[in-house]
Amino acid sequence: MIDPGIINIAQSDDSMAVAALRVDIIADLICPWCYLGKRRLDDALLAVRGPSVVNWIPFQLNPDMPADGMAFDDYLLSKFGHRDTIQPGLDYLTEAGRAEGIHFRFDQIKRVPRTLEAHQLMLLADQEGADTSALAERILQGFFEQGLDISARQVLLMMGEQHGLSADAINKALDDILLRQRVLELEAQVRRGGVTGVPDFLINRRLFIMGAQKTEVLVDVFDRAMFGEASDQPVSPTIN
C-alpha cells in the first residue's frame, strides 16, 4: 500500500503559503496515461477555481533505457508481446485521448526515448520559476502527437526556449551531473514510497490518487483534501 506520508517532495514549496490546494503529480513523459491524467487534472483545477500549485515529480517507466532509445515496435513487443494484443490498447488510448482533446499519433512514433534528459529540463524549469505544467504539456504533445524525440538536445532546446528558458541554461542543465543526480534521487524517493506506476497524484501531502482518474474523481478528492474527511489511505484503485 502506498504511504503518502513518506513521499516527502521538496521542490516549489514557497507557494504553499498562499495556495489552498497542492498537487504533486508523479509522471513520466512517455506515458500516455500521464498525458490523459494531466489533461484531466487541468480540467479539475479549472472546476475548483481556487488557488493551487502543481509540482511535477520525475519517474522513469524505463530506467534502463539506452541513451539512444529503442525502436517503437521493438519496445511494444518487448513490453506487451504480439502485435495483435497491442493494437486494441492503442485504439482505446486513441479514443480516450480524443475525449480529452489529445490526438495520439502512435504511427508517428519511431523510437521510444530515454526520458532522463526531459526530466532534467523539467527540473530546470521548476528551479527557474517557469510554468512546468505548460512545459510538460509541450513535451507530451511533441512525443505523442508529433513523434518527436524528446531526448534529443535540439528538441529540448526548442521546447525549453518556447517556455522562457535560455539556451545557455538548458545546455548547462542537460550537462549538469548534479541536476541529473537530483532527478534520480527524486525518482528513488517516490519508489521507496511505494510508487510502481504512473500517473499518481499526491493531494495536499495527504490523499493519494493512483492512475489517470476521471476529472470528476479528482474534483471530489480536491474537495475532501480542502474541506474534510481526514484520510491517509489511497482514495482510488490503480487503473493504469
Kindly list the structural domains of the chain, giving each domain's residue range(s) and its CATH number in brackets, ordered by start.
4-227 (3.40.30.10)
Instruction: Evaluate whether 12 touches 55 at the Cβ level (below 8 Å).
Output: yes
Read off the pLDDT of each residue in 204-227 and give the average, rounded to a whole number. Answer: 93
Q: Are 36 and 74 in contact (CB under 8 A)?
A: no
- pLDDT one-digit tens code per residue, 129-175: 999 999 999 999 999 999 999 999 999 999 999 999 999 999 999 99
Cell of 235: 482514495
Q: 57 - beta bridge partners? A: 26
Q: pLDDT value at position 64?
A: 96
Whether 227 shows a pLDDT value over 90: the answer reads no
CA distance 171 to 201: 30
- Amino acid of residue 39: R
- The pLDDT score that the predictor gives to residue 150 is 98
pTM value is 0.89
Say if strands 70-71 and 52-58 run parallel, antiparallel, or are unpaired: unpaired
Which are the contacts of 58, defined by CB distance < 8 A and separation ≥ 6?
27, 28, 119, 122, 123, 183, 186, 187
| pLDDT score of 106 more than 50 | yes
Q: What is the CA radius of gyration of the chain?
A: 17
Helical ranges in 100-240 per DSSP H? 116-128, 132-146, 153-162, 167-175, 177-192, 215-227
Q: What is the pLDDT of residues 14-61, one digit of tens each?
A: 444 445 799 999 999 999 999 999 999 999 999 998 889 999 999 999
